[in-house]
Amino acid sequence: MKILAEILSWVFLPLLTPVYGLLIAMYVISQPFPVDAQESLFLLPDSAKLAIFYMFLIFSVLAPAVSFVILRKQNIITTIDMENQKERNIPMFITLAYCLILYSVFIYISKENTLPKYVYALPFSGIFVTVIYTFINRWIKISLHAGGVGIMSGFLFAYAVEQAEFQFWILIFAIFASGLTISARLFLKKHTQLEVYTGWSLAVIMTFLVNYLYPIG
């Protein structure tokens, strides 16, 4: 069980799970409302999908991961998992910076060709979640893993609400993945119930609201 819990913790790393949500929205068949057809990620050309994916991969996964490895080598953090509550501030500020960069890049490159609002809203929600987590981290070691699957879930819920047809199993998958991740972190005794449930709930609510309310166009 411990090995399984550790595997789940790696599969659902906080840096990866929002990208999972993005890929699901882009490649699983969905049908947008006719008036909002321009807001469909599924209907984007494959070239646009790949370009968006690579941008998220660079700024949401690779760049933060390299930065965390450098922090570890410099002994600024003692573990890549950032188990020490006091060591989390710098990594979270770095994550915030990359979310800001990603959001700014999409704003800049889409001056002429407007992308679906979710391309902007997903990194924008990452900014909100990271700021709130950095603040809350002063009192509790809020679960970043729970936050990651929370962002994925909130994003998929918001996207599903604005589609005329959507694969319902995706929402079940998001909840199931969240449950597995939370259970794994509790089993490994990395967090308390308060830390994982608070992390997941805040991420879901904030991500849903940002993606649902983000202005079109």
Q: What is the pLDDT of residues 139-190, one digit of tens each?
A: 999 999 999 999 999 999 999 998 888 888 999 999 999 999 999 999 999 8
* φ, ψ (nearest 5 deg) of residue 15: -75, -25
Q: Which two tokens stand for residue 92?
A: 């979270």
The one-character DSSP state at 191 is S
One-letter amino acid of 181: T
One-letter amino acid of 4: L
* φ, ψ (nearest 5 deg) of residue 200: -70, -45
Q: Which of 174, 122, 169 is nearest to 153 (CA)?
A: 174
Instruction: Identify the helix (H) or strand (E) that includes residue 12.
Output: none
Give the C-alpha separation, 208 to 217, whole Å.
18
pLDDT score of 111 = 65
- Please state at what angle helix 89-109 crosses helix 117-136, rounded to 10 degrees: 160
Give the C-alpha separation, 76 to 2, whole Å.
28
- Give residue 68's domain range: 2-213
Number of domains making up the chain:
1
The one-character DSSP state at 216 is P
Q: Name, in order, each residue with C-beta under 8 angstroms of 132's C-beta and a sequence gap of 6 or more.
A: 202, 206
> How remote is the C-alpha of 61 from its chain's centroid?
10
Give the C-alpha separation, 84 to 197, whole Å.
19
Q: Name, in order, each residue with C-beta under 8 angstroms of 130's C-beta and a sequence gap of 6 or more.
A: 92, 95, 96, 99
Tens of pLDDT, residues 4-62: 999 999 999 999 999 999 999 999 998 877 655 667 899 999 999 999 999 999 999 99
Length of the chain counted residue by residue: 217
Q: Which of 151, 117, 113 is nearest to 132 (CA)?
A: 151
Checking if the pLDDT of 101 tops 70, the result is yes
Give the C-alpha separation, 6 to 12, whole Å.
10
pLDDT score of 216 = 78
pLDDT score of 39 = 78
